[in-house]
Structure formats: structure tokens, C-alpha cells
Amino acid sequence: MFLFKFIVSSVLPFLILLVIKLIHHKRTTHSSQKHENRPPSPWKLPIIGNLHQLSGNQRSLSILAKKHGPVMLLHLGCVPVLIASSANAAREILKNHEPMFLDRLKSTNLGKITYNFKDLTFSPYGEHWRHAKRILVHHLLSHNKVSSYQKVREEEVTLMMDIIKESCGSLVNFSELMILHTNNVFCRVAIGRKFERKKVKDLIELSVVMIGLFRFVDYMPSLSWIDKLRGLDSTMENHHKKVDKFLDGVIEEHLCKKRREYDSDKSCEIDEEQCFIDVLLKNKENDDTTSFLFERDDIKGLFLDIFLAGTIQTFSVLEWALSELVQNPKTMKKLQEEVREYAQGKPNVTDEDLAKLEYLNAVFKETMRLHPSPPLIPRELTQDLNLMGYEIKCGTKVFINTWAIGRDPTLWDEPEVFKPERFLSSPIDYYGAYFELIPFGTGRRGCPGIHYSKAINEITLANLVYKFDLAPPSGEKPKDLDMSESSGALIHRKNNLFLVPPLAFK
């Protein structure tokens, strides 16, 4: 019984794919030859299109792009997907033709996890998106707001350093430590409280699984019965229920806090100050021209969206920066010298020191050049368009491969080498004007969390290298540090980063 269930849920779909592949083991002609104005495409198979050529990560897309060019058209099942892999193509899409690329692609899973696109990241371009973004930026992510979280950041950095100090000399799981640290800061500023490690981990894991589940219905609707055989609907439903319960809990806690103002119920332990979730719960956001109502699902969708971005994306950059520094001891030393010179004699590095730390800034630019998270910026074309001489159809999904752009040898000298120095004498920054470095995207749908993540990542890394000489586990050479990437929509380290922190000075 168990074996049967296992075969039906896991192996059968892949066997079917294999059979299809064998039956149709005949190359189709290049679509670029058939339709002269279409972008070049790799050869594809009936039904599955180019799916068999993707190993689930951006590296396989980059290899295809090297062969077929910086603008290529793939077919994932029956879905046309344009892959842009050069800074020029990114500029054309995100700047010169921006109004036609303001929508995001959709999928069944995304619809489920976002409460039917009630979040911000995958919300269609329109009224809901506009209001949600304005409120998010104004009440959580503006420069002023981010500066006002200085105390929270510093307190959390101190707590994290205390944990490290206690375990000095022994192995520390820095990946876990940093994910919890970024989540603590985010939750304190957004909802006024923190969660225990297990709850955060479970919620993130469930969400990542939900986003990443491959469903035939979205790419090969004729094979959607396989999804049913694999029980994906009920898997999604179960995961969604758990995430939903967590989000309901967050909302109830805040409603309870409000009620407490009237009935002195002491059962909720959250900060008294108004935080972002309270703003959303006020329900009506008025401006001069219109009023907008946030329903409960809108609040849950938006909150989950920023909970994940505020934690996973932010932490991932920190994790890669630290990994690169440990792997490159000379770069680590240079950064330590800079930080220690400016913060000399102080108990901690503070926000005021950060503006002077040019090399630290360059370390983050270089980290995001090599490890952009997400590696692909997703958009969707909303009308037929001639793009760089190619005819592209309305509804085509678009991915800008920032991972490939960051490693393009025509843009970067020794692109695979971690070399923050390249940014010291360069005007390039990551705010969206330089298309060779767009880890946060750009334009109207660009990331609103840049200042937020910059502030937390810089203060955390500066303090870590100020206090500790971090090294790989004993016996391991820095250059042998495992740097494997995960696959999927967000790239983080495949395996946790374990380091040994001896105290540099107390």
C-alpha cells in the first residue's frame, strides 16, 4: 500500500515524462527558423516543451542563454516564457518598455498562498497594488521608518552576539542564527513581538514548499489529472491551513490588544506601540481622493508576503556575504580592518558608523552581484510587443536572469571571483539605475525593502566582523567551504553555514 502510494505520488509523473520524452525523441525545428521574428528557442519536445532542459535553477538557464542569446523564448509545457539574460535586455524590459511589463506571472500555488493575489508581490498592477504599496512604504519601509527601528536592530544584534559569545570555540549554525535574527527584527517592527525558532522555521518551510510545488495544471493542463493522483490539492490545502492559522493568530492577537484597551484583558503580550499590522487593521486608509478597504485576506496576504521577504531574502544576502568572506580570508581581513578602525574603542558598531564604511558597502554589492536572491525577476507582458527586433506575444511570462547578468564576462572582469574592490572606484549601485546590478529589480514594481534590508544587513555584518574572527570548522580550509546553492525561486545556501567563532577581543 505504502509502495503504491509512493509510486503514484512521486514516481508516476516522472515516468510519464520519461515515456513522453522517449516516444517523441525527435528534435523539433528551431522556432526562430520557423518564425523569423520570434526570439531564438532551444529545441523542444511536444507537450513538455523545454521543461526537460531545466534542472530547476538559474545556472541551466544561463547555459541555454549562452547558446541562444540574451533574449530567448522557452516553452514550459504550453506556456511561453521569455528569458532576458543581459543588462541591455533588462533595460529594455524594465525601463524602456516598463508600462507593458508591470504585471506578474500567476500560478495555482501562488494564488493559494497569496489569498488569490491579495499580497503585493504577485498582485496584478492596479488599484489594490497601488494602495498596498503606498501603505507598506509609508508605514513600514520609508527612510524615516527604517531609521526609527535603529534601537530594535541594535538590541537584536546584541542578543545575537551574546548567543555567539556563549558558544565561542564550538560549532555554530550561522544560517539558523541569522534567519532567526532577521525574523526577530522584522516581527518586532511589523507586529511588535517575536516568535520562537520552531514556529518561524515551520512557517518558512511550509511557504517555500507551497511556492515551489510543481503542478501540471499550470503548464500542461491536459495532464492535470497527475496533480490529483499525487494528492497535490490536499497537500496544498493542509499546508495552507497551517499558514492561515498562524496568520489568524497574529491578527487575533492584535485585535485582542485593541480590546484590552477597553476590558483590561492581560492575556496578550505584545508591545503597546502601534505597529504595521495595527495600521492595516484600522481597515480604512484615506487619502485625498479615495478610501480603500483592507479585508482580512488582504491583510494576511500582504503580511505573509513581507514576512517572507523581510526574513528569507534579507537573511540570504547576509548568509552569502559571510560565506564569501570566510572563503576569502584576505577580503575578510580588509573588511575587519576598516570596521575596527572606524569603531575603535566602541562597544559596538552603530548606525552612525555605517555611512563611512565603504568597503562594507562594496562587500554587499559584490555579494548581490554573485548571489542575487531571487535570481530571476518575474514579470508578464500585457500586450503584443516588438522587443529588440523580436515579436513577443501578450501574456508571455518574463524572467530577467539577474544571476546571469551578475556573471556576464562582458560586464565584469573575472566574474566568478569575489572582489568587492571592483566597486570602490565605480559609481555602480543597486538602486535600479545600473542594469548590470539589479538585485532589487527597478521601476514601479521594484523592491520597496532596499533601505530596510540594507540597514539590518550592514549593522549585523559590521558587528560580526568587528567582534569575531570567524573561521570554518577546524581542519577545513577556507577555500574548501561548501558554497552549493539551493535551487528554486530563491537561492540561498543549499547546506547550513557552520562556523567556529573564537573571540577577537572582548
Give me the residues that bind ligand HEM (CB under 6 A), please: 120-121, 133, 305-306, 309-310, 313-314, 317, 373-374, 377, 439-442, 445-449, 452-453
| Helix-, strand-, coil-residue percentages of the chain, each rounded to 5 | 55, 10, 35
User: Closest CB to ligand HEM among 40 and 441?
Assistant: 441
User: Closest CB to ligand HEM among 62 and 442?
Assistant: 442
Q: Cβ of residue 444: shortest distance to ligand HEM, in angstroms?
A: 7
Q: Cβ of residue 317: shortest distance to ligand HEM, in angstroms?
A: 4
Q: Cβ of residue 45: shortest distance to ligand HEM, in angstroms?
A: 30
User: Closest CB to ligand HEM among 17 and 90?
Assistant: 90
User: Closest CB to ligand HEM among 364 and 418?
Assistant: 364
What's the rounded Cα separation, in Å, for the pair 354 and 338?
Answer: 11
Is 384 in contact with 332 (CB distance < 8 Å)?
no
Q: Cβ of residue 182: shortest distance to ligand HEM, in angstroms?
A: 9
Q: Where are the alpha helices (DSSP H) in 137-231?
A: 143-148, 150-166, 174-191, 197-212, 216-219, 224-229
Q: Cβ of residue 445: shortest distance to ligand HEM, in angstroms?
A: 4
What's the rounded Cα separation, in Å, for the pair 417 and 407?
Answer: 9
What's the rounded Cα separation, in Å, for the pair 374 and 309?
Answer: 10
Joined together, the cell numbers standing for residue 368 give 548581490
User: Closest CB to ligand HEM among 226 and 318?
Assistant: 318
Q: Which residues have a Cβ under 8 Å from the Cβ of 454 and sit 6 or more positions away?
A: 364
What's the rounded Cα separation, in Å, for the pair 127 and 134?
Answer: 11
User: Closest CB to ligand HEM among 268 and 489?
Assistant: 489
Residue 411's closest CA among 70, 18, 49, 42?
70
Q: Is the backbone of residue 49 left (phi > 0), alpha (psi -120 to 50) or beta? A: left
User: Closest CB to ligand HEM among 373 and 401?
Assistant: 373
User: Closest CB to ligand HEM among 115 and 342?
Assistant: 115
Q: Which residues have a Cβ under 8 Å from the Cβ of 394 and sit 6 or more positions away?
A: 381, 382, 383, 384, 385
Q: Counting beta carbons within 10 angstroms of the beta carbon of residue 190, is it exposed (0 to 12), middle (13 to 18) or buried (19 or more)?
A: buried
Q: Cβ of residue 318: shortest distance to ligand HEM, in angstroms?
A: 8
Q: Cβ of residue 102: shortest distance to ligand HEM, in angstroms?
A: 9
Q: Which residues of 153-176 are buried (b: 16+ CB within 10 A; e: fewer)?
A: bbebbeebbeebeeeeeeebebbb
User: Closest CB to ligand HEM among 41 and 460?
Assistant: 460
Q: Specify the DSSP element, H or E, that contains 74.
A: strand 71-76
What's the rounded Cα separation, in Å, for the pair 259 and 257?
Answer: 5
Q: Cβ of residue 249: shortest distance to ligand HEM, in angstroms?
A: 20
Name the residue number minimizing CB distance to ligand HEM.
441
Q: Cβ of residue 263: shortest distance to ligand HEM, in angstroms?
A: 33
